[in-house]
Amino acid sequence: MQFIFNFTLLITYIYFFNTNSTLMKNQAVQKFAPFLILAAVAILALFVPQLPSYAGEYSAADTAWIIVATALVFIMTPGLAFFYGGMVHRKNIISTMIKSMVSAGVVSVIWVSFGYSLCFGESIGGFIGSPTTHLFFKGVVNSAPILQGGTAMTIPLLLFALFQLMFAIITPGLVVGAVAERIKFTSYTLFIILFIILVYAPLAHWSWHPQGFLFKMGALDFAGGTVVHISAGCAALAGAIVLKSRRAKLEQQEIPPANIPYVLIGTGLLWFGWFGFNAGSALGANALSISAFATTNTAAASAGLAWMFFDVMKGKKPSVLGFCIGAVVGLVAITPAAGFVGIPQSIFIGLVASIISNQASQVFKLSRVDDTLDVFPCHGIGGMVGMLMTGIFASKAVNAAGADGLFYGNPAFFLTQLKAMLIVVTYSFTVSFIIFKFIAFILPLRVSEEEEELGLDATQHDEKYGRNPLKA
């Protein structure tokens, strides 16, 4: 924990001298600081001793499948970039897409350095892992496939660490959709760093480490309903509140999606990658993995249809956008439940999640909160629905290591899921709100009105999509 505190102070010190008028603003500090931090980490890594790989036996089938699953989860990140990029104004397509993709760079370096250790290192009171346990992947390559806490695996520990890395990469990328079209790139990059350290790592430790306090409490999250989607959704809400509304929303301007085929491509990549996300979380090529694969596909299909048909009931025409958004909501909702519920029940989970998120989206459109691409209604609320549905429909017949839910006569487990959900929502929103406020204090968080009008592609990246965004 002291390491986390010191690292946060370092970031603060480096960036602070660019803020506020009296200290203003050695632009060179902001220009050089990111590269210098990366260079320092790279140099430190040179002195990490090399140890031989663990020579024990693994399951070849399990290993092969999780390698594939790891790659599948990674493809969700460019999928998310297409999904979000297609829904914003054309002058902000590139800036939106890169904010999702840059997470792969930032989080990968953090993860190898100390991030994995914060999540799965030796537990400190069930709240966080020791950053020194696996510092620079110490003991990951050369150790037996056993997690801290004693859980044995049939795949290399390094492969498990890489699989978990992909979850960490996509989580801050999800937040982009709520703050799109108005947040500075440098500020968002700093958000990724602080979010991974202060929000994602603790939640992953609580939920998935054998000594994590939510894990020991009996809460179940098969593949990231709390750790990924609720945390990202609540962070998105916090970011939207701190950044306030875009000028377009204040003026009640209708912003048509820039490229619906991009949204369709993104949905396809997300759906495809989600099989690795959920089925891979069984950590083996086994019957549970196949069941999770099936529940994932079924929930997505049900939710996509439900969103589209529900819109038709409200007098709208069936839309590509509606089906795509609904399918993603279904994927979100089934994520915590995928390995604990039956395939038939996944149809109901997708249906309910889609309708609730659809209505929540409409409420937010009428509110003063400008969640640009409905991240909180889709991921935050979708994840909450999934957690509660796990508490209702989980069955030991599907997964003996799980629990029976409310529907099968166990109200205590439903209450456990509800309690865990409330803890995660409160923590994620509160800490994320503080992070955004902190960044706004030390750095310009939002672009200027002029930059917002011209578009972030041109003003933040000096790049353009198609024709000149300055003339869009």
- Backbone φ, ψ for residue 325 (5° rounding): -65, -45
The predicted pLDDT at position 27 comes to: 63
Residue pair 266/325 in contact (Cβ under 8 Å)? The answer is no
pLDDT at 196 over 80: yes
**Which pair of tokens denotes residue 445?**
């968080």
Angle formed by the axes of helices 343-366 and 381-393, to 10°? Answer: 150
pLDDT at 153 over 70: yes
pLDDT at 449 over 80: yes
Q: Which of 25-34, 140-149, 182-191, 260-269 has the lowest mean pLDDT?
A: 25-34
The predicted pLDDT at position 186 comes to: 93
220/230 Cα distance (integer angstroms): 14
- Backbone φ, ψ for residue 46 (5° rounding): -65, -25
> In sequence order, which ranges of 17-128 are alpha helices (DSSP H)?
27-45, 60-85, 93-110, 116-120
The predicted pLDDT at position 339 comes to: 97
pLDDT at 439 over 90: yes
| 2-59 per-position pLDDT tens digit | 554 455 555 555 554 444 444 444 465 667 888 888 888 899 898 888 888 888 889 9
> Comparing 470 with 42, which gets the higher pLDDT?
42
**Exposure b/e, 399-416, CB count within 10 A at least 16 = b:** beebbbbbbeebeebbeb
Mention every residue, 6+ apart, whose C-beta is less than 8 A from residue 280. 65, 66, 68, 69, 70, 72, 73, 163, 223, 289
Helices (H) and strands (E) in the chain, counts: 20, 2
> Comparing 243 with 53, which gets the higher pLDDT?
243
Q: What is the number of other CB atoms lying within 10 angstroms of the CB of residue 324?
A: 25
pLDDT at 143 over 60: yes
| 404-416 per-position pLDDT tens digit | 999 999 999 999 9
The predicted pLDDT at position 465 comes to: 82
- Backbone φ, ψ for residue 124 (5° rounding): -105, 95
Give me the mean pLDDT over the 69-92 stretch: 97
If pLDDT is split at 50, 70 and 90, which confidence band does 126 have? very high
If pLDDT is split at 50, 70 and 90, which confidence band does 248 have? confident
376/231 Cα distance (integer angstroms): 10
The predicted pLDDT at position 57 comes to: 87
Q: Which of 35-49, 204-218, 389-403 has the lowest mean pLDDT?
A: 35-49
Give me the mean pLDDT over the 316-323 stretch: 96
pLDDT at 442 over 80: yes
The predicted pLDDT at position 54 comes to: 86
Under CATH, which number does the domain 58-471 receive?
A: 1.10.3430.10
The predicted pLDDT at position 1 comes to: 44
238/245 Cα distance (integer angstroms): 12
Q: What is the mean pLDDT of the chain?
A: 92
272/260 Cα distance (integer angstroms): 18
| 258-298 per-position pLDDT tens digit | 999 999 999 999 999 999 999 999 999 999 999 999 999 99
Spans of all domains in the chain: 58-471
Residue pair 114/199 in contact (Cβ under 8 Å)? The answer is no
138/405 Cα distance (integer angstroms): 39
**Which pair of tokens denotes residue 435?**
């992070």
32/18 Cα distance (integer angstroms): 12
pLDDT at 122 over 50: yes
Give me the mean pLDDT over the 375-392 stretch: 98
- Cα 142 to Cα 52, 96, 138: the distances in Å are 6, 39, 8
| 98-112 per-position pLDDT tens digit | 999 999 999 999 999
pLDDT at 63 over 90: yes
